[in-house]
Amino acid sequence: MKILVCISKTPDTTAKIAFTDNNTKFNDAGVTFIINPYDEWYALVRALELKEKLGGTVHLITVGGADAEPIIRKALALGGDEAFRVNADSQDSFYIASQIAEHAKAEHYDIIFTGKETIDYNGSSIGGMVAELLDLPYVSVAAKFELEGTTATINREVEGGEEIDSVSLPVVVSCQKGMAEARIPNMRGIMAARTKPLKVVEPVAADTLTSIAGFELPPAKAGVKLVSPDNVEELVKLLHEEAKVI
């Protein structure tokens, strides 16, 4: 069994957000980058659990520059067998999905896992695009994945309940909380990751369908107004005229 896990580099959740070039680029000066948590905690760890139980190999892929290599080395330390970095710097989902799909066509994976979204752009689009480009079934926001032979049973949350899907491999799945429990690389894994293959491949020609016009920070939070519990009329007036919630 061959599994491909899509890995994305994202800013640490504690990073201070700022922009440059007239608010068109993220300012990464001094920012610590991590593996996108949905990719690491759920997609990668579930892939490793399946490998440990059923055998096979787990490949990793990221689309990015050389600065993404420490991130993918950490994924190798967790237990990935081999990694591929497509040498391209793009934030366009279709372009990124096209690079992943081109690689997957040659490798014939049984399962392709992605996180449900990245924590920086929250696009939730890569998995669906990869599935479409490969003409494969796609199950999104999966919270549980079980495999029996070549048939996967996938649980996903839907509004008001849970949906259980059955699908034959190969399949593309985006993963969310519940899919697996997070792991921490051990010293043996960290040492082994140094010698595991990390292949750099050049991108294929693909369309870029979107561009970033600009970023905007949310407005600063307004100060708190305290109203005496005896002054109900003033509270109602503020809720109506300023908060506009009644």
Distance between CA atoms of residues 194 and 99, nearest Å: 25
Name the least confident of 50-59, 101-110, 154-163.
154-163
**Which pLDDT score, from 0 to 100, does residue 202 have?**
96
**Which pLDDT score, from 0 to 100, does residue 242 have?**
81
Handedness of CA 77, 78, 81, 85 (dihedral sign): negative
Handedness of CA 142, 113, 2, 101 (dihedral sign): positive
Average pLDDT over residues 69-74: 92
* Residue 60 pLDDT greater than 90, yes or no: yes
Give 3-state DSSP helix, strand, coil % of the chain, rounded to 5: 30, 30, 45
* Residue 166 pLDDT greater than 90, yes or no: yes
CB 78 within 8 A of CB 186: no
**Which pLDDT score, from 0 to 100, does residue 199 have?**
94
Q: How many Cα atoms occupy the beta-carbon half-sphere of 40 within 13 Å?
A: 20
Q: Three-state DSSP class for 54? A: helix
Q: Where are the alpha helices (DSSP H) in 17-68?
A: 37, 45-54
Average pLDDT over residues 2-14: 93
* Residue 97 pLDDT greater than 80, yes or no: yes
Q: Where are the domains of the chain?
A: 2-220
179-195 confidence digits (pLDDT tens): 998 878 777 788 888 88
pLDDT band at 55, cuts 50/70/90? very high
Q: In DSSP terms, which residues pair with 174 in a beta bridge?
A: 114
Is 0.95 surpassed by the pTM of this model? Answer: no
- CA distances (Å), 204 to each of 89, 122, 134, 225, in order? 13, 25, 15, 57
Mean pLDDT for all residues in the chain: 91
Average pLDDT over residues 39-43: 94
Distance between CA atoms of residues 236 and 243, nearest Å: 10
Distance between CA atoms of residues 144 and 167, nearest Å: 13
Exposed e or buried b for every residue in 129-142, given b needs 16+ CB within 10 A?
Answer: bbbebbebbbbbbb
**Which pLDDT score, from 0 to 100, does residue 142 have?**
95
- Per cent of the chain over pLDDT 70 is 100
- Arch. (CATH architecture) of 2-220: 3-Layer(aba) Sandwich (3.40)
**Which pLDDT score, from 0 to 100, does residue 241 have?**
85
Number of helices and strands in the chain (H, E): 7, 13
**Which pLDDT score, from 0 to 100, does residue 133 have?**
97
Mutual angle of helices 93-107 and 126-134, in 10-degree steps = 50
- Per cent of the chain over pLDDT 90 is 62
* Residue 219 pLDDT greater than 90, yes or no: no
**Which pLDDT score, from 0 to 100, does residue 240 have?**
87
